[in-house]
Chains A and B, each alone.
Chain A
Amino acid sequence: MILAVVIVFVIAGVQQATIARQQRSEQFREVWFRLLIKSMMTAPDELPPVRSSDAQDFLRLWNYLSESIRGDDRNGLNATMRLAGMDRVAAKMLKSYRLDDRLMAVVALGHLRERTVWNALERFVVSRTPELSLAAARSLIRIDAQAALAILIPLVGARTDWSFVKVATMLSEADLGQVVEALAQAVRGASIDATVRFVRCLEAVGSPGALPVVREILARENCDHQVVVACLRCCSRYATHQDLGTVRVYLAHPNHLIRLHAVLALGRIGTEEDEPRLIDRLADDEWWVRYRAAGVLAGFSFVSSDTLARLHAEHPLQEVRDVLAPFVARRAQRVLQTTNG
């Protein structure tokens, strides 16, 4: 009985403490959100003190605002962070045993371009926790992009736990020319897996500067299938008519993924001469190749609706007629919409 009463009191106490903590956190948030927003226009002369128990809330808010805006207003935020002494608090938080403390501090110090924590961030980059290592990598880029690329590019090739989207977002904060140059150098002599990752990064960073690298790789003898696929993906985004010959060769490759990506690359650079080649691919053994070939054909303005409709009606293979059906219907709908204004 006594034990039950004690447990009830303990639970009630914990609940009260949690509610009080939440309320304090909300009050802090309300005051500081407005203060930080205002500080972006005019740097404040003085600020209310931030208690150590509020450090997490402060950094969460500050990081949110830093990630929401671009331009000169960020300078006001940085000045407020330093005025409140939170740069020193964040540097101490790098040593915290709690992952979310370290993450918030890593992100904040990166936004602040705080050079004094470079060595600590470099240690975090090789952490086995992908969230922490990626956050540290991004902060290094923000502090000194060129120095960071020398450290990070080899890791981009090796860290299979780093998602391409996150890596591309991180690299997009550095100078694009520097990124492409660093990736191009890394590709030379890299393993197959690393080459695939580098080429995928080149594709993801969104630069036509990727093309010379891709051309160099595709000119190699005995290129691995995965590497060819990665290069053709890149061609689908950046290839020029100069690449037509190379891409056309891969249309008849025994590997269906290579044929598929060659078809997609032709969708970008193909000419009227490619119409019969793509019609051949409509009869490919693989459904995805047939489907993409149909989509690419239907997307070409030089392939008339009549040609598509005739293929759909008269092709001897049922699977070709099936795969063309939605594209013929979509073309017809588009024509109808244009006619109706």
Chain B
Amino acid sequence: MHMHGMQPGARPHIWLVEDDEDMVTLLRFYLEREGYRVTATTDGRLAKDVIEGTEPPQLALLDVMLPYVGGDEVLTHIRRHPVWKGVPVIMLTALSAEHSIARMLDAGASDYIVKPFNPQELTARVRRFLTPAA
């Protein structure tokens, strides 16, 4: 379990980096329903600012295709960051970009989810790293 930096009883914080706002709403709906607290960032450049300026979440869900700075670069940034490097990162990848999965796992991704996603699979994969608040 990677539950570092969490207050007892607090809802685990998931940081979502995804440029499609409708997808953010959809993912947020499923994750909040499971008892997680979700914050979202909509491009790679802003994501790097978040990494530099805030406390790490308990888990990051990171889209591969992001404006300005790609998800792979954000992942590398996380893995090189002294405070964020231990954060579990689940990559969100389109079915057509499945070939990039091995590269993402080599670069330090903890897991991946293929879009279109299965909601049960999403929550199960997130649960591997986090225990939702009751």
At the interface, yes or no: B8 with Cβ under 8 Å from chain A?
no
Q: Which of B84-134 contact A (CB under 8 A)?
A: 95-96, 115-121
> Do B118 and A70 touch (CB < 8 A)?
yes
In Å, the complex CA distance between A65 and B95 comes to: 16
> Do B117 and A33 touch (CB < 8 A)?
no
Chain A interface size band reads 10 to 19
Which residues of the other chain, B, contact A169 by a CB distance below 8 angstroms? 95-96
At the interface, yes or no: B25 with Cβ under 8 Å from chain A?
yes
> Do A165 and B23 touch (CB < 8 A)?
no
When C-beta atoms are compared, the residue in chain B nearest to A36 turns out to be B26
At the interface, yes or no: A69 with Cβ under 8 Å from chain B?
yes
Which residues of the other chain, B, contact A165 by a CB distance below 8 angstroms? 96
Which residues of the other chain, B, contact A64 by a CB distance below 8 angstroms? 22
When C-beta atoms are compared, the residue in chain B nearest to A67 turns out to be B116
Given A165-B96, A169-B96, do A69 and B25 touch, yes or no (CB 8 Å)?
no
B15 to chain A: closest CB distance in Å? 20
Which residues of the other chain, B, contact A201 by a CB distance below 8 angstroms? none
At the interface, yes or no: A276 with Cβ under 8 Å from chain B?
no
At the interface, yes or no: A72 with Cβ under 8 Å from chain B?
yes
In Å, the complex CA distance between A67 and B121 comes to: 16
Q: Hey, what's the 0/1 contact readout for A67-80 against B, CB within 8 Å counting as 1?
A: 11111110000000
Q: Which of A155-197 contact B (CB under 8 A)?
A: 165, 169, 172
> Do B120 and A33 touch (CB < 8 A)?
no
B126 to chain A: closest CB distance in Å? 15
Main secondary structure of the interface of A (DSSP, over half): helix
At the interface, yes or no: A134 with Cβ under 8 Å from chain B?
no
> Number of residues in B with C-beta < 8 Å to the partner?
15
Which residues of the other chain, B, contact A37 by a CB distance below 8 angstroms? 25-26, 29
> Do A69 and B118 touch (CB < 8 A)?
yes
Which residues of the other chain, A, contact B120 by a CB distance below 8 angstroms? 71-72
User: How many pairs of A and B residues are in contact by the CB < 8 Å rule?
Assistant: 34
Contact of A68 among B33, B96, B117 (CB under 8 A): B117
At the interface, yes or no: A136 with Cβ under 8 Å from chain B?
no
> Do A69 and B22 touch (CB < 8 A)?
no
Q: Hey, what's the 0/1 contact readout for B30-52 against A, CB within 8 Å counting as 1?
A: 00010000000000000000000
When C-beta atoms are compared, the residue in chain A nearest to B28 turns out to be A37
> Do A70 and B116 touch (CB < 8 A)?
yes
> Do B25 and A33 touch (CB < 8 A)?
yes
At the interface, yes or no: A152 with Cβ under 8 Å from chain B?
no
Contact of A69 among B33, B96, B117 (CB under 8 A): B117
At the interface, yes or no: A40 with Cβ under 8 Å from chain B?
yes
Contact of B115 among A41, A68, A71, A72 (CB under 8 A): A68
When C-beta atoms are compared, the residue in chain A nearest to B99 turns out to be A206
A176 to chain B: closest CB distance in Å? 14
> Do B117 and A70 touch (CB < 8 A)?
yes
When C-beta atoms are compared, the residue in chain A nearest to B29 turns out to be A37
Extra pairs beyond A68-B26, A69-B26 (12, CB < 8 Å)? A33-B22, A40-B119, A67-B116, A68-B22, A68-B23, A68-B115, A69-B117, A69-B119, A70-B116, A73-B119, A169-B95, A169-B96
Q: Can you list 16 A-B contacts (CB < 8 A)?
A: A33-B25, A37-B26, A37-B29, A41-B33, A65-B26, A67-B116, A68-B23, A68-B26, A68-B116, A69-B116, A69-B117, A69-B119, A70-B116, A70-B118, A71-B120, A73-B119
A-B residue pairs, 6 tightest by C-beta: A71-B118, A70-B118, A70-B116, A37-B29, A68-B116, A73-B119
